[in-house]
Amino acid sequence: MEKNQIPAKAVGLGLRAPHYEEVVQNKPKVPWFEVHSENYFDECGLNRHFLREIAPHYPLSFHGVGLSLGSCDELSSHHLKQLKALINEFQPALISEHLSWTGTNGQFFNDLLPLPYTEEALNLFCQKVDCVQTELGQKILIENPTAYLQFAVSHMKEWEFLNQLQARTGCGLLLDLNNIYVNASNHGDSAATYLESINWSAVEEIHLAGFTVNEYEDGAILIDTHGSRVHDEVWALYRQATIQTEAPVLIEWDTDIPDLTVLEEEAAKARQINAAIQQVAAWA
């Protein structure tokens, strides 16, 4: 196996600054790490230094949050250039971005903002993904985001939009099961239908994360804070997903970052589910 390949169904962890020292010193048995690309753009930065220490020992996945592919603005050539330099240096196994936009007219909002699922948005998004894949000379994965509102003009389901995007650009899909659950709960949609309808052959990575519940007078909204353990409902979706795909899975944790041991416990849970499903398959 090549250094930069991620094994099938391998359960990786998000690499975050509080864990650098421990990972450098103890080289924990983690099959792969995912990093947020933008944090490593600065070639003289401390983050880049730690990545140089860690990269020789683990396959990597670069997960972007700032390319703003869904924006009507032009792609930022500066952003793309920095991403390309990072990819050239580290040769990650996977590169991903989000089905969202983060800014317009040169102003950015530090968030993954929702798109209307229209033909116009699909055309624009396909064009941007084509452009990035051509520039990078390789495939990228696109992740399903959370959205706290739905536009009246949308006339496609998100999975329909993603399937068409994939068919037209040849991109891969990164399926975040927590996001599917959060959206389904907030909008009264069916996560099961989503999982039945998505093109599994294009899914190359799975995300698992935790959400929080904001309670209001009128009801509750789930927020994808990525600051807690994976909820049981999302584990249930993972049981269904892992029958469909060999894709590697990531335990994603971005706020209130705990000790590495907590992340490893979550990873062990995912591995147990994989093993159980495999056993069932063997009996069958």
Partner 1 sequence: MGLKEIQEQFSSALLDKSEAFSLQILPGTFQADQRIQLYRNNFYISLSEVLSGVFPVTHALVGDTFFAQLCKAFIRQHPPAEGSVTHYGADLPDFIACLSQAESTPYLADVARLEWAYAKVNEYWKVEMPFPFEKLALVVPEEWPNILFKLAKNVHLICSDFAVLDIVNGVRNDCLEDVVVAIPQQIIISGAANQEIQCQAVSPPEYAFLEAITRGIALGETSPPPDFEAFLQNMIIKGVIDDFEMLD
Interface residues with partner 1 (CB under 8 A) are 38-39, 41-42, 44-49, 65-68, 71-72, 76, 78-79, 101-111, 113, 115-116, 118, 120-121, 124, 148-153, 187-188, 214, 216, 218-219, 221, 223
Q: By CB under 5 A, name the one of 38, 97, 176, 205 that touches Fe ion.
A: 176
Q: What are the residues whose beta carbons fall under 8 Å from the beta carbon of 2, sequence distance 6 or more? A: none
In angstroms, how far is the first alpha carbon of the chain from the final one?
Answer: 30
Residue 207 or 231: the one with the smaller Cβ distance to Fe ion is: 207
Choose the contact partner of 121 out of partner 1, Fe ion, none; CB within 5 to 8 A by kind: partner 1
Q: How far is the CB of 207 from Fe ion (least distance, A)?
A: 4
Distance CA 117, CA 154 (A): 4
Check if the beta carbon of residue 131 is closer than 8 Å to that of residue 140: no
Q: How far is the CB of 237 from partner 1 (least distance, A)?
A: 22
Residue 18 or 45: the one with the smaller Cβ distance to partner 1 is: 45
Distance CA 39, CA 14 (A): 13
Distance CA 122, CA 10 (A): 32
Residue 39 or 240: the one with the smaller Cβ distance to partner 1 is: 39
DSSP-assigned beta bridge partners for residue 180: none
**Per rule CB under 5 A, is residue 16 in the interface with Fe ion?**
no
Choose the contact partner of 176 out of Fe ion, partner 1, none; CB within 5 to 8 A by kind: Fe ion
Residue 207 or 229: the one with the smaller Cβ distance to Fe ion is: 207
Choose the contact partner of 120 out of partner 1, Fe ion, none; CB within 5 to 8 A by kind: partner 1
Q: How far is the CB of 112 from Fe ion (least distance, A)?
A: 9
Choose the contact partner of 104 out of Fe ion, partner 1, none; CB within 5 to 8 A by kind: partner 1
Distance CA 10, CA 250 (A): 8
**Could you give the angle at the alpha carbon of 52 between the alpha carbons of 49 and 57, nearest 5°?**
140
Distance CA 100, CA 113 (A): 5
Q: By CB under 5 A, name the one of 16, 207, 229, 231 that touches Fe ion.
A: 207
**Per rule CB under 5 A, is residue 204 in the interface with Fe ion?**
no
Choose the contact partner of 207 out of Fe ion, partner 1, none; CB within 5 to 8 A by kind: Fe ion
List Cα–Cα distances, 123 to 58, 120, 164, 198, 236, in angstroms.
Answer: 36, 5, 10, 19, 34
Give the per-residue contact string, 223-252, with Fe ion (x = CB under 5 A; - = no): -----------------------------x
List Cα–Cα distances, 175 to 26, 45, 166, 178, 249, in angstroms.
Answer: 31, 31, 13, 9, 9
Binding site for Fe ion (CB under 5 A): 176, 207, 252
